[in-house]
Amino acid sequence: MSFWEDPLVGNKIITLMAALVLVLQIMMVAQRGLVTNIRAFGMQSFLLACIGFTIAHFNHAPHIYIAAAMTLVFKAIALPLILERLVNKIDVRQEIEPLVNVPISVITAGLLTLLAYVVAESFHRTGEYTGPATLGHNTLAVAIAVFLIGFFMMINRRKALTQVLALLCLENGILLAAISLTYGMPLIVEVGVFFDVLVAALLLAILIFKIRETFDSMDVTRLSRLRG
């Protein structure tokens, strides 16, 4: 068995990349720079694509190659470029203003990560066979943590653009769980869900531009003025 066909090697590679995904997610909570957050999301999506390619390679699963390629092209490259261009176009302040300050936000992210590992532990099977079919099963805790922290970011941020970014991070957690645990849903379902999220992100980007034009701000709390 060659080095690149050993499931233990694949498992170590996936575990390392999943750890970096989680580190980037927590970094996004701590980082106040908007463009930095966008680029961290792009790097996180790139790592998810690499995880997908690794699982596809060891399991000879062509449909996972397709899902990983779409993640690479659209979420790691296209969406970050679109969001950065939107930031420059609307000339928004490139500093994130969370509802909860950074230290408490980081502590909350840490507690959510701990909760994710506690939840994932209940799904752990002792003596599980360490072959290609089990690659990525140990990333469930990371997937849950990314999802929970993404949801927290949506609640904790005022600007519409940062909430869109949090939604995309939340979807990254779902994608990691789908690819790593089930080796992908049926391809047609994956493509449908992927483009639903993509279209939603683009529509929200247009909405953000309109909010900026109308209110001269992206603070969603100002939308309360619309109440009659």
According to DSSP, residue 94 is labeled S
User: 220 vs 32, 98, 155, 197, 225, CA distance in Å?
Assistant: 17, 12, 11, 21, 10
213: left (phi over 0), alpha (psi -120 to 50) or beta: alpha
Phi-psi region of 227 (alpha: psi -120 to 50; beta: other; left: phi over 0): beta
Output b/e per residue, 182-193; b: 16+ Cβ within 10 A.
ebbeeeeebeeb
One-letter amino acid at 146 equals V
Of 75, 97, 78, 95, nearest to 87 by C-alpha is 95
CA distance 133 to 135: 6
Under a CB-based contact definition with an 8 Å cutoff, are residues 202 and 82 in contact? Answer: yes
3-state secondary structure of 124: coil
The four Cα atoms 94, 147, 201, 44 give a dihedral, to 10 degrees, of: 60
Question: Helix, strand, coil shares of the chain as percentages rounded to 5?
Answer: 80, 5, 15
**Distance from C-alpha of 81 to C-alpha of 74, rounded to nearest angstrom:** 10
Q: Looking at residue 25, what is its pLDDT?
A: 95
Please, what sign has the CA dihedral across residues 102, 108, 110, 113? negative
pLDDT at residue 155, as a whole number: 87
| pLDDT digit string (tens) for the chain, length 228 residues | 555 667 677 788 888 999 999 999 999 998 888 888 999 999 999 999 999 888 888 877 787 888 888 888 888 998 888 888 877 776 666 667 778 888 899 999 999 999 999 988 877 655 554 555 566 677 889 999 999 999 999 888 877 778 888 888 888 888 888 777 765 555 545 555 566 666 666 666 666 655 555 555 555 555 555 554
Closest C-alpha to 169, from 7, 21, 67 = 21
